């Protein structure tokens, strides 16, 4: 079955960087984009961007432009999210999700989430 398994929780200081991995299995890695969504404590869902594993093309939400980088490793079917210049407001659970659909994109499989805590 389709699985997305994320790396473990992180605690970072303000100004630091964090890398989260999302290892996929159970389907053809290059067929579908991977999206990143975050959720601050007690808050809603916020889309951060996506990466096309086939060629590596990325689209980022304007809010994160310049601070976020999404990459992929096709040899291990893994996608990475790098977020730098961390602030306390970046404390959240970060999810990767597979984007299905040719016309109407929908997220049919999600990782388990990675809690990132930013605190001095």
Shortest gap between Cβ of 45 and other proteins (angstroms)? 4
Q: Which two tokens stand for residue 50?
A: 């996506």
Helices marked H in the chain — which ranges?
A: none
DSSP state of 85: S
**Smallest gap from residue 13 Cβ to other proteins (A):** 26
Q: Using CB under 8 A, count the residues that bind other proteins.
A: 23
Do residues 6 and 114 make contact, with C-beta atoms less than 8 angstroms apart? yes
Is 3 among the residues that bind other proteins (CB under 8 A)? no
Residue 89 DSSP label = G
Residue 118, token pair as written in the block: 């930013």
The two structure tokens encoding residue 2: 């389709």
Q: Does 108 bind other proteins (CB under 8 A)?
A: yes
Size of the chain, expressed as the number of residues it contains: 120
* Binding characters for other proteins, 33-72, by CB under 8 A (x = yes): --x--------xxxx-----------x-xxx---------
Q: In what order do the strands lie in the sheet with 68-73?
A: 3-6, 18-25, 78-83, 68-73
Q: Which stretch binds other proteins (CB under 8 A): 15-23, 75-83, 84-92, 106-114?
A: 106-114
Q: Based on the shown chain and the rule CB under 8 A, indicate whether residue 27 belongs to the binding site for other proteins.
A: no
Binding residues vs other proteins (CB under 8 A)? 35, 44-47, 59, 61-63, 95, 97, 100-101, 103-108, 110-113
């Amino acid at each position: 079955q389709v699985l997305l398994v994320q790396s473990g929780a992180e605690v970072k200081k303000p100004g630091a960087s964090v890398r989260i991995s999302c290892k996929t299995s159970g389907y053809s890695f290059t067929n579908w984009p991977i999206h990143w969504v975050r959720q601050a404590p007690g808050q809603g869902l916020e889309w951060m961007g996506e990466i096309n594993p086939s060629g590596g093309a990325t689209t980022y939400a304007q809010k994160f432009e310049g601070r976020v980088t999404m990459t992929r490793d096709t040899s291990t079917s893994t996608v990475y999210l790098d977020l730098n210049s961390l602030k306390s407001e970046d404390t959240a659970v970060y999810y990767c999700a597979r984007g299905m659909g040719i016309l109407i994109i929908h997220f049919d499989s999600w990782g388990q989430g990675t809690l990132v805590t930013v605190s001095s």
